[in-house]
Amino acid sequence: MNNIEICLTPKLFQQYTVDDKIVVIVDILRATTIITTLFHNGLNKLIPVKSLDEAKEYKKNGFLVAAERNGKKVDFADFGNSPFEFTTDKIKDKTLVYSSTNGTNTINIAKQAEQVIIASFLNLSSVSEFLEKQDKDILILCSGWMGDFCTEDFLFAGALSTLLMNTNKFSFNSDSVQVSIDLWNMANQNLSDYIKTIHQYKRLVDFGFQEIVKYCFKIDITKVIPVLDNDYLVELQ
């Protein structure tokens, strides 16, 4: 039996050891949803960067750059934070530098793990099927919101934990995993209604991003799994 844990926000990451674990990075609204979309649309390589200064430096050197802060594209970037911008004609076989408010920081703190993969509702079953075959303990690392708990990442953690538990190859010893499973099973009875209670959902709908938010909760539209390879993300082969 392999173990499942959930880290509710990067601020609690130091509570966990990850050297021998697979870390599953989650930032449903929106970094990991976008990163999944990028590789689904044929991106070759993603360079996650923390600061806007770094992103700007890459831009000067001719790289394509996606960068947002607080949900808005920064002025020098080629792309912002809408998954619909990254069409195949713009990104197929290319390298993209990517910086977001929460998600890319989360990727960087998990680097010492055995393996780091990127998950979202878009590739949920594919991630579960991959993990089932690895015989490794799992830490689901939620990006959260402003350092704190957010529902959308926790719901995803519950959805993934439910699938993993159904394989009979995993166990857990953690209240967060139990509660995430309970919440997912409750919310999933009417997911499109439940997500309306989410703080960040309401905020993004107020900004006019309803279609984007709906997209972020689409389940299993792709099989691709982005994976950290040294300092870059590539598609898991």
Determine if 196 is a binding residue for a copy of itself (CB under 8 A). Answer: no
Burial class (CB in 10 A: 0-12, 13-18, 19+), 166: exposed
Phi, psi angle pair for 73, to nearest 5°: -60, 135
Q: How far is the CB of 16 from a copy of itself (least distance, A)?
A: 9
Determine if 193 is a binding residue for a copy of itself (CB under 8 A). Answer: no
Q: Which stretch binds a copy of itself (CB under 8 A): 33-41, 56-64, 178-186, 218-226?
A: 178-186
Please work out the total of residues on this chain that contact a copy of itself, with binding judged by CB under 8 A: 26
Determine if 210 is a binding residue for a copy of itself (CB under 8 A). Answer: no
Q: Would you say 47 and 58 are in contact if contact means Cβ atoms under 8 Å apart?
A: yes
Nearer to a copy of itself, 183 or 219 (CB): 183
Q: How far is the CB of 24 from a copy of itself (least distance, A)?
A: 17
- Report the run of H or E that residue 33 belongs to, with start and end: helix 31-40
Q: Which of 178, 188, 191, 234 binds a copy of itself (CB under 8 A)?
A: 178
Q: How far is the CB of 142 from a copy of itself (least distance, A)?
A: 11
**173: nearest Cα among 187, 160, 161:** 161
Q: Dihedral, CA atoms, 208, 202, 218, 117, nearest 10 degrees?
A: 110
Contacts of 127 (CB under 8 A, 6+ apart): 24, 117, 119, 160, 225
Q: How far is the CB of 198 from a copy of itself (least distance, A)?
A: 6
Q: Would you say 141 and 13 are in contact if contact means Cβ atoms under 8 Å apart?
A: yes
Q: Give residues 112-171 in contact with a copy of itself (rule: CB under 8 A).
A: 145-151, 154
Residues in contact with a copy of itself by CB under 8 A are: 8-9, 11-12, 15, 145-151, 154, 173-176, 178-179, 182-183, 186, 197-200
